[in-house]
Chain A
């Protein structure tokens, strides 16, 4: 049996140990092997799902960092060599001398607070894809974010990652029905994003790990053992396996096991220090789950506050603080992963639902725009600046025109990293951007 991970125990062994530790008396294996184990066995035998198929890299992970509100791409990846930039933003433009240079010839640099990104860039661990957007840009937060989540300009249907899970992360149960892997996708935050909602597959989401368990144990400690007797039975004799009750009992068992794994994982101290920010906290949790060897294929973290209509600031101020947080958090994340020896397994992608208008507004800020850069991180990415900076004069109603459709970037990630059929997942044909280095 192949080992899924470089570190930690295999999932089956972990589960069995935790069951025995809880003092559950297991009768004959046939009668009382919990569903979680049965299905894992099936998944390993089945050609699809999280089993070892030639060419399907089980150990690869994708992390999505969502910047909510519409990050001002123009002050993030700065065309410091373009006079139009300074004409359009008399108060909030970043002085050319202060930008962190990425490409002196092209006159492209990063916001000065993105020292974290610069460190990753210089180490060949970062890719900047310029001018990413989609046709007929929508400037409404809800609608545009839904478009990015569904990979569909009508913003309808399931999430793109949900469709990925449905296509690639489903096993087959004893009755031949496709069953989703319960832990294929984990989102940190109150609500799991639409991006991860599939037809069958639903993500796990929690703000902090201690919320991903029964609260009753906190009302009265003695309830814990009784609760376990109820919810860790798995499927035992007497209950019709095709019944809804049996399905509920199996899911209850899965929930306990997932909860144990997640809470144990995040209780470990990181190997490398993190700043004290919200995004850093989330990435630290993700890092600890990766380190613990969870089966999870995709993690999703989010940071809000990018909707800088007023008082955005330039080199300093609100936007600068956000840049500081994003840069330092992702840098700390990769430093930690490197110490673990897991950095080569993790691709991180960062995006926002739209960029902002070229001309600053009358409130020292910027309004909703369109095209903006996307960022990819990890040793496997094609390092450097990809694509041209959008023109600051040839605009679409005052907004930057896109050069690369975001679904091309998704397609690249799906095909080159996750080895998935991007046409099936994206429900459309998009030329895959070359985002991953050739081996």
Chain B
């Protein structure tokens, strides 16, 4: 095993590979797209299904990890991925980043500013402004550090579903650093999502109205009794819990009143009683002197909420909706409805919903598998984790993800990332192909990264257990098939032929497929359009 990801090697997901199972075509007969959530039968859970589960419930897996899941069967596999608190992981600490780069002026500083302004002291004003700008510059640098920290965590975690869900909630409760310019608050918010990743959505909703990053992003810290700011109240319902048309303009106005006073001081939530409108309100059919928590309670009791969240989870883990195909939309809707019931029946516990979904035949249907366009995070993190390449340079990976349209901590708007086909255009396609080229070979437009020549990537573990042919050499056809099924989930004729032709043209000695040839075959596979799917 090459160095670069000791956490993956040490993770409980790494199997003791005693004879890798051969990847085979799905053993399930093609069946209609189920409207129910019948669990998948053990016998139908093979290599392709385990691979699919690892990609959708995480960021992909190595052949060894896929084979381990096949051996475990669906129940144990889903339990292992979902009950991730049982897996030891690096804790997230409050002091990992500096909370004082951005802080409110203290009394002394406030006095200095007032004096400078009163006396028209240009020099002092300039100096204070310069020190503020310096703090902002330092904070932007720390934000990049936090980005790299999270990216590294996604790459190394033995709890892939935890990070997957953290990213999901980050896109759902979208908050952009550019607007709030406080990296520590973004870090705290990130941990909030991690804490509640597969927990209770209700608890998360109560927590988000206390989160400094969200309060600043949606201007609730400026909201006052008599002059309420409606931004948070609106997005709380429209984007975070109920969806459009499930509330009225009146609910927004009244909800905004309920949220007055929900603010923060420095890094902690602060309920400012003197700014809070304590009057009687009517929100979503409930009446009383409601505060922010009562507002959230009213939301959670609204049946539109579990339906909205269930639909979002479905779109993230299963299929983008609407699918555009009548024969899929109906069953999808039905499944979303059942997930919504599970969510509301379980008082917003997310785990049971995911458990039911990830164990269902519906989830493993051929129409679902290999149909989702990988987000930039899935692509980059997934490549490192599944192909076990060195991570090389987090800055390069993070920048590339940004160029692909997903700079973590910088969602383009409060709607988060659209996802799906919007990830793909002619420019992002080249960036996607080229970041894989970088991971596999270290090649950048300017040259090679130093690690590439010191420690060349060795992908031969991908061929473990592959039988040599009668001539004592690996057959190009079996190599192509093995790699295509691992990387793409299927080995189509055209792709196989292109790879076989290439390998035959290489005329390698020895086992018939040299390390260099293997890397080049992977370059071709990762440049295939289908590689963008999972």
Contacts and interface: CB of A to CB of B under 8 A. Distances in A.
B403 A249 contact: no
Nearest to A208: B445
Interface string A214-238: 1110111011001101110100000
B495 interface: yes
Contacts of B427: 192, 202-206, 212, 255
A244 B505 contact: no
Contacts of B324: 242
A395 to B, nearest CB: 14
B371 interface: yes
Interface stretch (A41-49, A359-367, A429-437): A359-367
A142 interface: yes
A215 B129 CA distance: 45
A309 B445 CA distance: 34
Contacts, number: 129
A367 B128 CA distance: 12
Interface in A287-318: 309
Contact of A244 (B122, B178, B371, B434): B371
A204 B430 CA distance: 10
B501 A249 contact: no
Nearest to B418: A199
A156 B413 contact: yes
B191 interface: no
A98 to B, nearest CB: 26
Contact of A359 (B122, B129, B372, B412): B122
Given A245-B529, A251-B529, A259 B425 contact: no
Contacts of A84: none
Interface in A180-211: 180, 182-183, 190-192, 197, 202-206, 208, 210-211
Contact of A202 (B425, B441, B527, B528): B425
B122 A361 contact: yes
Contact of B430 (A202, A222, A226, A255): A255
A247 interface: yes
A227 B426 contact: no
A299 to B, nearest CB: 14
A244 B529 CA distance: 10
Given A205-B427, A245-B530, A254-B426, A227 B524 contact: yes
Contacts of A309: 130
Nearest to A155: B179
A252 interface: yes
A57 interface: no
B495 A230 contact: yes
Contact of B529 (A190, A218, A231): A231
B441 A219 contact: yes
B498 A247 contact: no
B494 A233 contact: yes
Interface residues of B, number: 50
A251 B424 contact: yes
Contacts of B402: 191
A248 B402 CA distance: 20
Contacts of A68: none
A123 to B, nearest CB: 36
Contacts of A348: none
A210 B426 CA distance: 15
B341 interface: no
B333 interface: no
Interface residues of A, number: 54
Contacts of B516: 220
A229 B424 CA distance: 20
A408 interface: no
Contacts of B499: 226
A156 B499 CA distance: 46
A244 B495 CA distance: 17
Given A204-B427, A251-B424, A361-B122, A215 B530 contact: no
B523 A216 contact: yes
A219 B126 contact: no
B126 A363 contact: yes
A157 interface: yes
A252 B529 contact: yes
- Taking each of B405, B443, B524, which has the highest tally of chain A beta carbons within 10 Å of its own beta carbon? B524
Interface in A237-274: 242-245, 247-249, 251-252, 254-255, 258-259
B126 A367 contact: yes
A378 B502 CA distance: 52
B378 interface: no
Interface in B423-446: 424-430, 433-434, 437-438, 441, 443-445
Given A142-B178, A226-B498, A204 B426 contact: yes
Interface in B213-269: none
DSSP majority for the B interface? helix
Nearest to B123: A362
Nearest to B130: A309
Contacts of A350: none
A244 B502 contact: no
A297 B426 CA distance: 17
B439 to A, nearest CB: 11
Contacts of A230: 495, 498, 524, 527-529
Given A222-B505, A244-B371, A251-B425, A216 B433 contact: yes
A214 B428 contact: no
B421 interface: yes
A244 B426 contact: no
Contact of B443 (A219, A251, A359, A367): A219
A153 interface: no
B429 A255 contact: yes
Contacts of A10: none
A212 B445 CA distance: 10
A324 interface: no
A259 B494 contact: no
B529 A249 contact: yes
A213 interface: yes
Interface in B351-403: 370-373, 402-403
A192 B405 CA distance: 10
Interface string A31-49: 0000000000000000000
A14 to B, nearest CB: 16
Contacts of B371: 243-244
A215 B443 contact: yes
Contacts of B527: 214, 216, 227, 230-231
B478 interface: no
Interface in B497-534: 498-499, 501-502, 505, 516, 520, 523-524, 527-530, 532-533
A220 B429 CA distance: 20
Contacts of A156: 413
Interface in A337-376: 359, 361-363, 367
A297 to B, nearest CB: 16
A307 B444 CA distance: 31
Interface in A87-132: none
Nearest to A254: B426
A254 B502 CA distance: 24
B325 interface: yes
B421 A244 contact: yes
A197 B424 CA distance: 13
A248 B424 contact: yes
A233 B413 CA distance: 36
A243 B490 CA distance: 16
Nearest to A259: B430
Contacts of B444: 215
A381 to B, nearest CB: 31
List the 7 shortest-distance A-B pairs measured between CB atoms, nearest first. A248-B529, A255-B426, A362-B123, A216-B523, A202-B425, A215-B437, A204-B427
Interface of A: 142, 146, 156-157, 180, 182-183, 190-192, 197, 202-206, 208, 210-216, 218-220, 222-223, 226-227, 229-231, 233, 242-245, 247-249, 251-252, 254-255, 258-259, 309, 359, 361-363, 367
10 contacts: A157-B413, A182-B426, A222-B505, A226-B502, A227-B527, A258-B426, A259-B430, A309-B130, A362-B126, A363-B126
